Amino acid sequence: MNRSSHRSFRVIDLVLLATLFVAAPAWSESTAASMDDEIQDLKAEILDLNRELFLLEEELLFPANTQIAIFVSMDVGEFFALDSVQVKLDGKEVGNYLYTEREVAALHRGGVHQLFLGNVKTGDHELVAIFTGLGPHGREYRRGATLNFDKQIGAKFVELRITDREIKQQPEFFVREWE
């Protein structure tokens, strides 16, 4: 190989190197941007998958035919400061929930709390809810409410509702089925 061809190879090397230096930042920026997009897509896919898994798990653990869900709600609540709710289904305690100030405030604002989600066989059942807290004049208050219901095929939703009875200046507790 003669000296001139050697020189031309060196020039080509330098040109390639310069091209690499000029192109590299642009290439890395575009790669980073596309990788970022890919990561965001993957994150979205994972969230979708997680939601689907959650729904599948719910369907598997609590099939609609045997499902029973118990909710707690509150209307006004001036005569009662809720502390806890205990739920017994056919004599067996299935839920006992202690409410914090923040949770009670959420109920006052119209929130509904799912206290229990489980399964029961079709047929007759008895549900007893015991509410504890502070009643009028800050006295300790404990009241129970009972619901006898017939579980048919299909999900059953029961609401435990606390309301104020203005005339009596007392709280009232209802257990009712959602149609």
Minimum CB distance to another protein, residue 168 (Å): 26
> Dihedral angle at the C-alpha atoms of 9, 10, 13, 19, nearest 10 degrees?
-120
Check residue 83 for interaction with another protein (CB under 8 A). Answer: yes
Minimum CB distance to another protein, residue 90 (Å): 23
Indicate the residue among 102 and 139 with the shorter CB distance to another protein: 102
Kindly state the helix (H) or strand (E) to which residue 119 belongs, with its residue range: strand 113-119
Minimum CB distance to another protein, residue 158 (Å): 22
Minimum CB distance to another protein, residue 87 (Å): 16
Check residue 140 for interaction with another protein (CB under 8 A). Answer: no
* Integer CA distances (angstroms), 7 to 14, 71, 103, 145, in order: 11, 85, 80, 98
Indicate the residue among 120 and 134 with the shorter CB distance to another protein: 134
Binding residues for another protein, rule CB under 8 A, total 9
Closest listed residue to residue 76, CA positions, set 177, 158, 176, 171: 171
Kindly state the helix (H) or strand (E) to which residue 125 belongs, with its residue range: strand 123-134
Indicate the residue among 3 and 109 with the shorter CB distance to another protein: 109
Residues of this chain, 89-118, that bind another protein according to CB under 8 A: 97-103
Whether residue 63 contacts residue 76, with contact meaning beta carbons closer than 8 Å, is answered with no
Instruction: Give me the residues that bind another protein (CB under 8 A), please.
Output: 83-84, 97-103
